[in-house]
Amino acid sequence: MTLPVPTTHFTDPTVLVTLVGPDQSGVTTRLFEAVASFDVEVIDVEQLVVRGKLVLSALFTVPSDIAALEATVTEVAASFGLEVTVEHGTGDNRPRRVGRARVVILGVPLKPAAVAALAAQIKVLGGNIDRIIRMARYPVTAIRLEVSGADPDQLQAELAAVAFDHGIDIAVQENGILQHAQRLVVMDVDSTLIQGEVIEMIAAHAGYEAEVAAVTERAMRGEIDFAASLHQRVALLANVPVEALDTVYDELVYTPGARTMIRTLKRLGYRFALVSGGFTHLIDKMAAELEIDYHAANELEVVDGRLTGRIVGKVVDRAGKADALRRFAEHARIPVKNTVAIGDGANDLDMLAASGLGIAFNAKPTVRDQARTSVNVPYLDAIVYLLGITREEIEAADAAD
């Protein structure tokens, strides 16, 4: 099979036709039907509709009778009550510059000053915003910028500071074929997948909730070693009836958007894993309920129907979480660079760093500062916007089911 050879070059003259006005059926069809009578090639097309207003731009090679083309597109625009502009130039059909990235902005609310500051910083870094797409309008505003010409790592570092100043979240990912690949999503559980800390809920049955909560807070801030803190807290659970764990499970509250995120990404073939410093008695049930593919957690020792205050086996600590991510990725035959890790505490940092996309979710300041990406809205399904899925696509899939 012989492929056709392009007949246009980056320096050839082009003509840009732009129609603006009320959106209505048939505009695109009519424009291209009218232009079909001319000996031109289509170089690029962009169409956008915002609140019922259409912006349609089409880039063509220049015909032999440019005046006739202008008259034709003007007639098409007039038939729909649209405004039309026709611009001439050369080099407009060049490929986009190297260094392409997706920049996703999350805001509640998203203010114009924040967008202006981000756009200005992108320009300073040599980038150009090629396209802007709305990912969601509620419960958060999510906007995706397609950026070329700037290094993604530099964008991440510089734009994060701008985002912090304006109280919004930002995520930068390099564009490429891997963004379409199947992924493994690895989640922390306490204060990430669920609201609150399980060990504190169990401690309430022993009368030590306040004491355990104080140690948990220090461990999550990274002030004390997680494994040591876990042994210290579990010791306070001695003599709690094992039935209390079932009661705690019944009281668990999932983070808003958790089920939506899992349901949506599973439709696309994503795999899921729970990696928790919590306990197998509850994590096993959670994994079964949510149809999670892999999970790892700590096992509480039980003797004669009561907790002994000890842990069986090796603790799933900071290093253990990262090891579990790599192990599950290998089992799923998914490259580590195609993994997504979500967590909130200092014991999640190694896991976040090991993954392809590490997301600090409503994290402690020390964790947020070290993570590549932070999400500080209370909706776990905001994660899907970072992966290129829009709110409209989620709702359409749910409606179809």
CB 329 within 8 A of CB 339: yes
CB 199 within 8 A of CB 212: yes
The token pair that represents 250 in the structure block: 């019944």
Residue 126 is given by DSSP the state T
- Give the residue from 202, 200, 223 showing the smallest Cα distance to 213: 200
Is 190 one of the catalytic residues?
yes
- Give the residue from 161, 188, 144, 197 showing the smallest Cα distance to 340: 188
Neighbours of 158 (CB within 10 A): 18
Dist CA 395 CA 401 (whole Å): 10
- Residue 29 corresponds to which amino acid? T
β partners of residue 361: 375
> Which is the catalytic residue, given 188, 344, 348, 381?
188
> Which is the catalytic residue, given 23, 65, 190, 250?
190
Residue 390 is given by DSSP the state -
- Give the residue from 156, 115, 110 showing the smallest Cα distance to 132: 115
Is 246 one of the catalytic residues?
no
The token pair that represents 356 in the structure block: 């392809």
CB 248 within 8 A of CB 278: no
Dist CA 214 CA 233 (whole Å): 10
- Strand order of the β-sheet with 294-303 is 306-312, 294-303, 271-279, 184-187, 339-343, 357-361, 373-375
The secondary structure of 206-225 as a DSSP string is: TT-HHHHHHHHHHHHTTSS-
Dist CA 183 CA 40 (whole Å): 42
- Give the residue from 372, 400, 335, 383 showing the smallest Cα distance to 157: 372
Angle at 165 between CA 164 and CA 171, to 5 degrees: 35
β partners of residue 195: none
CB 275 within 8 A of CB 192: no
Catalytic residue ranges: 188, 190
